Amino acid sequence: MRFKIRKKNALALTVAVFVAVVFVYTMFKSSSLPQDKPKQGTAGSSEKLETLSIAQNHSPNRFLYGSVFEMKKSVYENNFRQFIMNAEMFQSDPELVIVVQVHNRPAYLRLLVESLRETAEIHSTLLIFSHDYFSKEVGEIVQGITFCRVLQIYFPYSLQLYPNEFPGQDPSDCPRDISKDEAKKKGCLNADYPDSYGHYREAAFTQAKHHWWWKLHFVWERVKALQGYSGYAVFIEDDNYLIPDFYSFFKRMAALKKSDCSDCDILALGNHDSPPLFQDLANKVETTGWVSTKHNIGMGLTKDVYYKIMGCASEFCTYDDYNWDWTLQHLSSQCLSKPLKVIAAQASRVLHTGDCGMHQKESCKPEAASQKVQTILQSVKSYLFPDDLVSRKLDSVKSSPHIRNGGWGDIRDHTLCKNYGKKL
């Protein structure tokens, strides 16, 4: 029998033989290498990578302020890393979490940090600063804190990151006071969605509610340091000032809630009453229905109450009021199974120093605010740190609906707000 080899078959056979020879040679060379000695530099490179990884996870926040792109990148990286400052000095689990909503008021933020430094037992807390404005000055104030653990988180939908598009003010958005018919003729983006009073959204007024709701989600759902934490988070703002016995008074209030008001939802450590009443009310608390205009400062709540509020998330996000506290008042009276109940300090342990803000931006006088605070502290210092608290029960507040303030009619705000629970 004779074999007939075609050119195509010969070529294929040659290639197959070549591949087989290369494979055998490679296997022989690898088997001849010493098995107990890795190639030079491999172990060292692995150790360097591991060291670099540890260093990156345990190094302070790095924030680039140059461009919008750099700031967005910094926001997402730092929210993922969640570096805890001073963790090596304060290694026990936090007994209390204090969450500060920070905008662009560095002078007032300095006053707050000063008050925190003077607060008794502050080393037992974790401070979380939630920023919606990013500047080197504000960042350095927070990063200068050495008296307790500190975490900075960053609102990723800040107007600063979206200056010419939603959730910022898009140039194609409808002017605030244009009529709906005019808006439709003009063809502006949100022509179909004015608020209850016929006005169109103003980004500067919607941000605070967005930030508050995002912050609530992020603190309870995403902060790694709080996994398994069952205590309270107290929510304050950058223009608040804590009285020195704030933490001591909080602990007594928490104990009293446990024994005398187990159905209370919120601890309110602040109010807006006049300080001269302090000496008569220094050790007094009251239990009553939560009122947005009175109990929206120094609010302490647990994760259980957070979940209770989340049951009305859709209502929070669609209710036409740009104020988070008035929206929460609406949930309390119209959505929750029963109104929110509060145990509140009658002598406020949280002062409001801000004389300017969302509606007043040109009358900021932090020096005058500082002097006022010092005067108050001098007048109340003899009445701080009471040994026991005296409680009185007031009638629950009637759950009648309030008049909404508007400013939250745009469907884009509703949608973004609802998505915070999904993408943070």
Q: Which residues are annotated as a binding site for Mn(2+)?
A: 239, 352
Token readout for 166 is 């939603």
Residue 385 half-sphere exposure toward CB, CA atoms < 13 A:
6
Reference 157, options 99, 209, 85, 228; nearest CA is: 209
* Bind-site residues for substrate: 101-105, 132, 207-211
Residue 406 structure tokens: 């508007």
b vs e for 180-199, b when ≥16 Cβ sit within 10 Å of the residue's Cβ?
A: eeebeeeebbbbebbbeeeb
β partners of residue 235: 99, 299
Token couple for 134: 């990013």
Structure tokens at 219: 């603190």
- Which residues are part of a known binding site? 101-105, 132, 207-211, 239, 352
Kindly tell me the sign of the dihedral angle through the C-alpha atoms of 360, 358, 240, 288. positive
DSSP per-residue letters across 259-291: HH-TT--EEE----S-GGGHHHHTTEEEEEE--
SS3 assignment for 37-99: CCCCCHHHHHHHHHHHHHHHHCCCCCCCCCCHHHHHHHHHHHHHHCCEECCCCCCCCCCEEEE
Establish how many alpha carbons lie within 13 A of residue 352's alpha carbon, considering only the half-sphere containing its beta carbon. Answer: 15
Sorted by sequence, the CB contacts under 8 Å of residue 147 that are 6+ apart come out as 86, 116, 117, 122, 123
**HSE-CB of 327 using CA atoms within 13 angstroms:** 26
**Type and span of the H or E element at 125:** strand 125-131
376: how many CB neighbours lie within 10 A of its CB?
17
User: Which residues are within 8 A (CB) of 80 and not within 5 positions of it... i.e. 6 or more apart?
Assistant: none
Picking from 282, 248, 270, the residue whose alpha carbon sits closest to that of residue 352 is: 270
Handedness of CA 76, 417, 139, 55 (dihedral sign): negative
Collect all residues with Cβ–Cβ distance below 8 Å to 273 and sequence separation of at least 6. Answer: 346, 348
Q: How far apart are CA 142 and CA 266, in angstroms?
A: 27
